[in-house]
Homo-oligomer: A and B are copies of this chain.
Amino acid sequence: MKQPIQTKEKIITSARKLFSEKGFKGATTAAIAKSAGISEGTIYRHFTSKEELLAACVIPVLEDLVEKMDIDFSKIQDLRKLVMTVLQIRLESFERHYETFRILFNELPYSQEMLNGYLSFLAQQESRLSRMTEHIQMLGNFSRSRNYMIFGLGQIMSLWLLVNFKEWQKDEKLAFSGGMLHISEDHILDDLADYILYGISGVPGKEHESRD
């Protein structure tokens, strides 16, 4: 028996790349097979359909994420550190699994299955987040803004947009200068933490800077 597992992995890797670049419908099984260096028929030895292959591209990453998120935040006593930690984990995930997240976010609207999958992922995170929120309140006697969770998701989207802009620049697909959006990567997580904690009013007591 030749390495069937390697073959399966090769297919998934190629599929992930092409699904992310061209979308689910835009990536043909022929292109995937060619990119994986195998024949078209072989795909159907390992997956019963193109849809199943799509799932195989996304699910393991999602599972990996759940695992990665399994951190005991209760040990973190500094609120800012806690926020930073969460942001860092997310940013890292987006960067490491860029292709998978592109697939996820782009196909989500068309696939009830993926949508439910992702929402159940969010639901799993919910209790964790609730606990974290309590922890946050305890730490800083902060008000918990109503609707904070959806605002938080939006914040996460900032990170996702950032990663996308970076990837686009890498591919030189974009005449776009990050400059237009005044993105300075060096401090982005610090700034985002400040923003989350204090909004545009800034850190209390800290001198107002006029930087951009």
Question: Measuring CB to CB, which residues of chain A are less than 8 angstroms from any residue of chain B?
Answer: 22-23, 25-26, 102, 106, 109-110, 112, 115-116, 119, 122-123, 126, 136-137, 140-151, 153-159, 161-162, 165, 173-176, 180-184, 187-188, 191-192, 194-204, 206, 208-212
Tell me the bound Cα distance from A174 to B155 in angstroms. 23
In contact, B148 and A200 (Cβ under 8 angstroms): yes
In contact, B195 and A197 (Cβ under 8 angstroms): no
> Which of B23, B174, B199 contacts A195, CB < 8 Å?
B199
In contact, B180 and A145 (Cβ under 8 angstroms): no
Known: A141-B208, A153-B158, A208-B141. A147 touches B201 (CB 8 A): no
Could you name 29 residue pairs across A and B whose Cβ atoms are closer than 8 Å?
A22-B110, A23-B23, A102-B109, A112-B173, A126-B180, A126-B181, A142-B201, A142-B208, A143-B202, A143-B210, A145-B195, A146-B187, A147-B181, A147-B187, A147-B192, A148-B200, A149-B181, A150-B158, A150-B182, A151-B155, A154-B154, A154-B156, A154-B158, A154-B161, A155-B158, A196-B199, A197-B199, A197-B201, A199-B199
Known: A141-B208, A151-B155, A191-B145. A123 touches B197 (CB 8 A): no
Contact partners of A204 in chain B: CB under 8 A:
201, 204
With both chains docked as a complex, state the minimum distance between the C-beta of A46 and any C-beta of chain B, in angstroms: 15
With both chains docked as a complex, state the minimum distance between the C-beta of A204 and any C-beta of chain B, in angstroms: 8
With both chains docked as a complex, state the minimum distance between the C-beta of A60 and any C-beta of chain B, in angstroms: 22
> Which of B146, B162, B198 contacts A201, CB < 8 Å?
B198
Given A122-B180, A123-B180, A143-B206, 15 extra CB contacts under 8 A: A25-B26, A136-B200, A144-B200, A144-B211, A147-B182, A148-B195, A149-B183, A150-B188, A154-B161, A157-B157, A195-B199, A196-B199, A197-B201, A198-B199, A199-B199
Tell me the bound Cα distance from A180 to B110 in angstroms. 22
